[in-house]
Structure formats: structure tokens, C-alpha cells
Structure 1
């Protein structure tokens, strides 16, 4: 059976603090580089996906001889429903 000594406790505490500060120092050095690489890779993947999507839609439109008009943006008259008049209530104490 081993007994814990005060010097062993101080030594362990020193190692923990030293590891913490070394980790913080290395994180400040390398973390921005890693994040930059991840963001660049995500941007590349998004660009490639967009290119593939455009190519597939272009090929689909080339194969069809029909013309498609986008009628979603056509302004339609907006109907308003009259439910009733607004009544202002007052509280009575």
C-alpha cells in the first residue's frame, strides 16, 4: 500500500498545470490553421456540389425540347379576408 506524499501531490499539480499551458500554447498556434483548412475544404465541397447540380440541370434541359417558364414569381392579387371589426375592451374593476 502506497501513501500519498505532499511532494508527490505538488509534482502532479505541476504536471497538470504545465500540460494545460503547453496545450493552450499549441492550440493558439495550430488551431487557426486547422480551422482555415476545414473552411476551405467545406467551400470546395459546396462549390463542387453546386457545379454538379448546375450540370445535371443543364443536361436535363438540353435533353428536353420543352421550354419551362418560371411562373412562381408572377404577382397575384392578394386577397384580404374581412373577419370583423376590432373591438377595444376596457377592464372594469
Structure 2
């Protein structure tokens, strides 16, 4: 009798969750879509708030570190093609 009761409870919970998901899924998807729109729209608006630059104007956002590019490179080996 206990096994039958357990199976019946599992089936009732399954169908209960199925019915509840049909009721609440549209509202949940609308909420998720609204939040995603706000995030992406906010990122787009944040980019557009930067002052517009004239064509050909150069700006440097990140300065390179003062490391020499020749350090720790190793030896230069010149290979020649043999025919």
C-alpha cells in the first residue's frame, strides 16, 4: 500500500507542477524578456552617452606598459630555403 501511495503522490506532484508551469510560465518569460531588454538597452545607451568623436580623431584608452618588446624574446634565426 505504501508503494502505491508514493507513486500516486509523485504523479500528483508531477501534474500539479505541469499545471502551475502552464499558468506561470508566460509571466516568467515576460519578466525575463523585460529584464534582458533593460540590460541590453542600458548597455547600448551607456555607449551612446560618450561624446561623439569626429572622423579621423584618435584617442588612446589604454597606455601600453613600459616593457621592452625585445626582452625575453630569444635569438633570431634566419632560415634559408634550399632547392
Task: Give the TM-score normalised by structure 2.
Answer: 0.62
Matched pairs, number: 56
Q: CA deviation at 1:32?
A: 1.1
Q: CA deviation at 1:60?
A: 5.4
- Say which of 18, 23, 47 aligns to 1:53: 47
Task: Give the TM-score normalised by structure 1.
Answer: 0.56
Distance 2:38 2:17 in 1: 30
Q: CA deviation at 1:50?
A: 0.6
Task: Quote the residue 2:30 is aligned against.
Answer: 36
**Higher helix proportion:** 1
Q: CA deviation at 1:45?
A: 1.1
Distance 2:52 2:29 in 1: 37
RMSD: 1.3
Q: CA deviation at 1:44?
A: 1.1
Alpha-carbon displacement from aligned partner over 1:48-86 (angstroms, at most 9, x marks no partner) = 111110111xx252xxxxx315xxxxxxxxxxxxxxxxx
**Runs of at least 5 residues in structure 2 that lack an aligned partner in the other structure:** 57-83
> Which is higher, the Rg of structure 1 or of structure 2?
1
